[in-house]
Chains A and B, each alone.
Chain A
Amino acid sequence: DVKVTQSSRYLVKRTGEKVFLECVQDMDHENMFWYRQDPGLGLRLIYFSYDVKMKEKGDIPEGYSVSREKKERFSLILESASTNQTSMYLCASSFLAGTYEQYFGPGTRLTVT
């Protein structure tokens, strides 16, 4: 079974802090994604990566950056956390570039106070 894990289930940070969210997948998938999920807005793509050290902006990249130094690990960085970044963050991975099937991690509920 594909497994996507995220470093924390719940996280509370203060405004202005630098925040790292880690995601690891164990199936040698090429593609990895970061989404945020807010009530009534569905899943919105922040960044994705289709190879090591490669990244592309999604629909809402402002205030975020990413890092992919190893194939299995994709990190989301909030350079200076703000209260409007309070959300559920979901990581996903997929094998083929053309596939619709993404495997999601359990999510990190981030609260910025």
Chain B
Amino acid sequence: GQSLEQPSEVTAVEGAIVQINCTYQTSGFYGLSWYQQHDGGAPTFLSYNALDGLEETGRFSSFLSRSDSYGYLLLQELQMKDSASYFCAVKGGSSNTGKLIFGQGTTLQVKP
């Protein structure tokens, strides 16, 4: 089967850097993605890593290590608006399926 583990909560102060970890167990691995969901809002896609290494998109970066079955989302220069839940996700099944398996989510609280 497939499973993902993330911390349930993370707290950081405005302007700081925070890392949200995700470890996964899958029968076949095709990449790791991250979604953001503000309270009461819809999840929105942030990033996707298929290969090892760091992918940067503005203040957000995502890292993958396939040998360690591990990835993380790095948020820099934290802003109050970054307070949200963050989900990692992997493919559920073959590479050409659109089905995703999501982690339980990490609630990030940014304090002033």
Contact = CB atoms under 8 A, between A and B. Distances in A.
Interface stretch (A14-22, A61-69, A78-86, A93-101): A93-101
Q: Residue among B33, B41, B100 with the most chain A CB within 10 A?
A: B100
B48 A106 contact: no
Contacts of B67: none
Contacts of B104: 40-42
Interface residues of B, number: 25
Interface of A: 4, 30-31, 33, 35, 40-45, 48, 50, 56, 58-59, 90, 92, 94, 96-107
B98 A98 contact: yes
Given A33-B99, A45-B92, A102-B98, 7 more contacts: A42-B102, A45-B99, A45-B101, A50-B97, A90-B43, A101-B45, A106-B42
A50 B98 CA distance: 8
Main secondary structure of the interface of B (DSSP, over half): loop
28 contacts: A30-B98, A31-B98, A33-B99, A42-B102, A42-B104, A43-B43, A43-B87, A43-B102, A45-B92, A45-B100, A45-B101, A58-B99, A97-B96, A97-B97, A98-B95, A98-B98, A99-B98, A100-B31, A100-B33, A100-B48, A100-B91, A100-B100, A101-B48, A102-B43, A102-B98, A103-B45, A105-B42, A106-B42
